[in-house]
Amino acid sequence: MSDSKVYFTNLRAKPSLNLLKKLELLVKKAGIDTIDFDHKIVAIKIHFGEPGNMAYLRPNYAAQIVKVLKSKGAIPFLTDCNTLYYGSRSNAPNHLEAAFENGYNPMVTGCPVIIADGIKGTDFREIELNTENCASAKIGTAVVESDILISMNHFKGHEMTGFGGALKNIGMGCASVGGKLFLHSSSSPKIYEENCTACKVCEKNCNYGAIKVGKDKIAHINYEICTGCGQCIAVCQYDSARVVWENASELVNKRIAEYVSAVLRNKPSFHINFIMDVSPDCDCYGFNDYPLVPNIGMAASFDPVALDQACADMVVTAPALAGSKICDNHDHGDLSGKDKFSLTHPDTTWQSGLEHAEKIGLGSRKYELIEI
Ligand code: SF4
Ligand code: SF4
């Protein structure tokens, strides 16, 4: 596959050219105008951020993209699917409240928010795949029914996939709750017995009856029926129920790539990564740790694989921020040129997702970086 074009702009700004103007220039240089938006329903896939997290994308960026799309006759809406875990975004009413709390409301962004997989995450379309790791993909109906998909992606670290960028936001993010369950199901949790207080919170919250506190006052998981949904990890306040990532990352990354192919099938799409506030973990947590690297810039492309590869390369090249999590864990001196994601989350393999995405024809890992 030939090199894909990835357009990039740094974060230098001046009175006549603020970051919102730079974003507009970036997407136009990258060719967003070549898509026929007239009277088309456009899903803008974004992560609204878990309340308490401050690293999620500011709604002002979305508002700028909405303006660009509307000027082309589009009918845009902002969207995400419900989460697998308990939290502020696991059903549509709570999810909408979380989005509004974080500034994603029509007064700011100029368009509505629609939770793509409905009230409880059960409104999805099953798209046949029959690929190496997925028979089908369960994708939120609102995404499937839209004419065009634009992804706006906060590029940062991720505890399961290594980093979260375009592929993660599209593949995992457009999956309905059932789809997410499948994507996660290779990673069953483990109980760290020394931390367990026998509080039974996990037992009460497991929808599958797979975890029970025994007479020994320790929680035990029945792996025969555990689905790997992660609910017990989300609710355990004692860091006793934990994910075991070993060998899971590669499979999850591959499945995500296959889900992306389902989301983008027969649909024009365009992708924007924001390499800012590169926190170690995803925006699903109600906090964000100090970034791993300095803010880098914004990048856009029609090719989500090239885009993620280019952004990963930029983070690898960048120096680590002193005092960040990566420096807590590693005494490597200058970390410029080192793989920050693998050092932060040693059991993850982000490369596997990009390799697989390229193999299944989603895009190219080879890219031409065009700085504007
Ligand atoms: S929630 Fe955590 S601490 Fe409480 S019983 Fe379950 S594993 Fe143990
Ligand atoms: S991961 Fe397994 S044990 Fe934990 S809540 Fe889900 S099904 Fe239950």
Mean pLDDT of the chain: 92
User: CA-CA distance, 27 to 342, in Å (whole number)?
Assistant: 30
Instruction: Encode pLDDT of 191-223 as tens digits.
Output: 999 999 999 999 998 888 999 999 999 999 999
The alpha carbon of 5 and the centre of ligand 1 are apart by a number of angstroms equal to: 49
Residue 205 Cα: closest atom of ligand 2? 5
Two domains, one topology: 4-184+246-365 and 189-243:
no
What pLDDT, on the 0 to 100 scale, is given for residue 81?
Answer: 96
Q: Which of 94-103, 171-180, 183-192 has the lowest mean pLDDT?
A: 183-192
Residues contacting ligand 2 via CB (< 6 Å): 189, 206, 208, 210-211, 221, 226-232
* pLDDT of residue 289 exceeding 50: yes
Residue burial 67-84, b: 16+ Cβ < 10 Å; e: rest:
ebbeeeebbbbbbbbbbb
CATH topology (fold) of 4-184+246-365: Rossmann fold (3.40.50)
Q: Which ligand is nearest to the CA of 219?
A: 1
For ligand 1, atom 2, name the residue with the nearest CA. 236
What pLDDT, on the 0 to 100 scale, is given for residue 330?
Answer: 64
Residue 231 Cα: closest atom of ligand 2? 5
Predicted TM-score (pTM) of the model is 0.85
For ligand 2, atom 4, name the residue with the nearest CA. 232
For ligand 1, atom 4, name the residue with the nearest CA. 199
Contact 175, 137 (CB under 8 A): yes
* pLDDT of residue 246 exceeding 50: no
CATH code that applies to domain 189-243: 3.30.70.20
* pLDDT of residue 297 exceeding 70: yes
Instruction: Calculate the alpha carbon distances from 53 to 62, 159, 286, 327, 369 in Å.
Output: 18, 16, 5, 21, 31
User: CA-CA distance, 222 to 210, in Å (whole number)?
Assistant: 5
What pLDDT, on the 0 to 100 scale, is given for residue 270?
Answer: 98
User: CA-CA distance, 234 to 354, in Å (whole number)?
Assistant: 28
Instruction: Encode pLDDT of 80-102 as tens digits.
Output: 999 877 678 988 999 999 999 99
* Ligand 2 pocket mutation pick from 184, 187, 211, 224 by most atoms within 8 angstroms of CB: 211
Residue ranges of domains in the chain: 4-184+246-365, 189-243
